Amino acid sequence: MELTVVELFAGVGGFRVGLNDIKSFDENDKAIENRNWKFVWANQFEPSTKAQPAYNCYCTRFGKEHTSNIDIQEEVAHLDEDADYIPNHSLLVGGFPCQDYSVARSLSGEKGIEGKKGVLFWSIAKILHVKKPPFVLLENVDRLLKSPSKQRGRDFGIMLRTFNDEGYDVEWRVINAAEYGARQRRRRTFIFAWRKDTKYAEVLSDMKIEDIIAKEGLFARQFPINLIDTPIRTYDVTSYEDTVEMTEKFHANFENTGCMVNGQVVTFKTEPQFKKPIPLKDTLLHNVDKKFYLNDKQKEKFEYMKGSKRITRTNAAGFTYNFSEGKIAYPENIDLPSRTMLTSEGTVNRSSHVVADLDTGEKRIITPVEAERLQHFPDNWTNTGMTDRQRYFMMGNALVTFIINTLEPRLEEIIKAE
């Protein structure tokens, strides 16, 4: 089987960078792809803005052919009339929008799968229904497994049921990139699904689900784990009439590791076989432009925002409560991998990284290139006409390409064996 890919919610091309082991681009600004994954279609559209810097970056690095800059919900609607509107492919990938599940949102503000961007999962489901790609690899925030807060696990349970109804089995793992040797402490949920009629499914059919999770699955092979003494939880997503009933009744305690075969779900907590991460000091540049240095006013603001505090607040209903938060290292401890990078990176914000410059010792924010390095993109990947602010946003929204790069050898084996 050919290594053909459709990339949804493509951003600036993180899945493609990882799968094709891209480390640089040529004098024409085109990515130098070192592996043989052929991307036959990619969609990137940001509905909240007229400018489309992510899509423009993708086209700069890969060319405009086989790309789409139209709302994915409009695009998949074409499949009702023309099943070939989206090309056939062996692997569907995407970091589907996570705003509705993100820990950056307050509990009172989350909307889960019914949110404005949460419904975009159904665009993935439509492609599964019509195109039936043999394999799927998705990424989302770790909070996905527990969404929404008032009915834990409902959203992910509905996703699992949808995969089962469309003829797929599923494995998932929450991976902290730094625990396997990357530059950033970034926890994300990775979901691998395979069609039940594949040779891969046949190979796994004689195994216990626990053995798929611990030994033979995609994630166990590439990101080894240690089993710990923890409860094994089981669920049957087929015991509900449909996803409507699940919306009303389903809840589950999904752990960081799990697998579903024929609707039967097994999940339990595991620990990584730890690999030494890359410290922040190995990411930082020398001879950094002074524009990234903090002025006195910014230093004062960061000092306060990154310090510990306890504040009495009153909510909209008039209820008084105490808000507290702990101290964040200021400047960062550069002997550790970086903290999780958010889309607000580079702004005067509690979550932004402030480092002591390697040459001068002066406090400064990280540069766009350093932000790219934290996600394991090539240097200046987003230097395609974007502002610095846009470049930080793109990296805060991206995935750690190191994860995809590490999964790739086994993915290639699986797909070529079909």
CATH of the domain at 174: 3.40.50.150
- Residue 118: what pLDDT? 58
Residues 120, 247 share a domain: yes
- Residue 101: what pLDDT? 36
Left if phi > 0, otherwise alpha if psi is -120 to 50, otherwise beta: which for 380?
left
Task: Count other Cβ atoms within 10 Å, centred on residue 84.
Answer: 10
Residues 220, 87 share a domain: yes
Residue pair 137/411 in contact (Cβ under 8 Å)? The answer is yes
Whole-number Å distance between alpha carbons of 369 and 382: 8
Q: How many domains does the chain have?
A: 2
Whole-number Å distance between alpha carbons of 399 and 11: 10
- Average pLDDT per 10 consecutive residues for the chain, totaling 418 residues: 97 98 97 98 93 97 98 96 98 79 40 61 93 98 90 91 96 98 98 98 95 96 95 96 86 97 98 98 98 98 95 89 92 98 97 98 98 98 97 97 98 98
Domain assignment of residue 130, yes or no: yes
Return all residues near 284 (Cβ < 8 A) that are at least 6 apart: 334, 355, 358, 366, 370
Whole-number Å distance between alpha carbons of 240 and 278: 46
Helix count (H) and strand count (E) of the chain? 13, 16
98 counts as catalytic: yes
**Phi, psi of 174, deg, nearest 5:** -90, 120
Q: Is residue 319 classed exposed, middle or buried when 0-12, 13-18 and 19+ CB atoms within 10 A define those classes?
A: exposed
Whole-number Å distance between alpha carbons of 55 and 389: 16
Tokens for 305?
A: 């925002």
Residues 140, 33 share a domain: yes
Helix, strand and coil content of the chain, in percent to the nearest 5, comes to 35, 20, 45
Residues 289, 146 share a domain: no
Residues 69, 35 share a domain: yes
Question: Element (H or E) spanning 238, and its range?
Answer: none
- Residue 114: what pLDDT? 57
Nearest residue to 179 via CA among 281, 274, 271, 278: 274
Whole-number Å distance between alpha carbons of 197 and 199: 7
Residue pair 140/103 in contact (Cβ under 8 Å)? The answer is no
Residues 135, 152 share a domain: yes
Domain assignment of residue 331, yes or no: yes
Q: Is residue 296 classed exposed, middle or buried when 0-12, 13-18 and 19+ CB atoms within 10 A define those classes?
A: exposed
**Bridge-based pairing state of the strands 135-141 and 91-94:** parallel
- Residue 112: what pLDDT? 53
Residues 212, 327 share a domain: no
Residues 72, 24 share a domain: yes
Residues 179, 196 share a domain: yes
Instruction: Compute the CA torsion angle 63, 127, 50, 17 (nearest 10 deg).
Output: -40
Domain assignment of residue 384, yes or no: no
Distance of CA 87 to the CA centre of its chain: 24
Residues 190, 48 share a domain: yes
Domain assignment of residue 181, yes or no: yes
- Residue 245: what pLDDT? 84
Q: Is residue 135 classed exposed, middle or buried when 0-12, 13-18 and 19+ CB atoms within 10 A define those classes?
A: buried
Q: Identify the active-site residue in 57, 59, 98, 259.
A: 98
Domain assignment of residue 392, yes or no: no
Domain assignment of residue 388, yes or no: no
Domain around 235: 4-275+400-416
Question: Element (H or E) spanning 225, and its range?
Answer: strand 225-227
Residues 352, 233 share a domain: no
- Residue 102: what pLDDT? 31
Q: What's the whole-model pTM score? A: 0.94
Residues 299, 257 share a domain: no
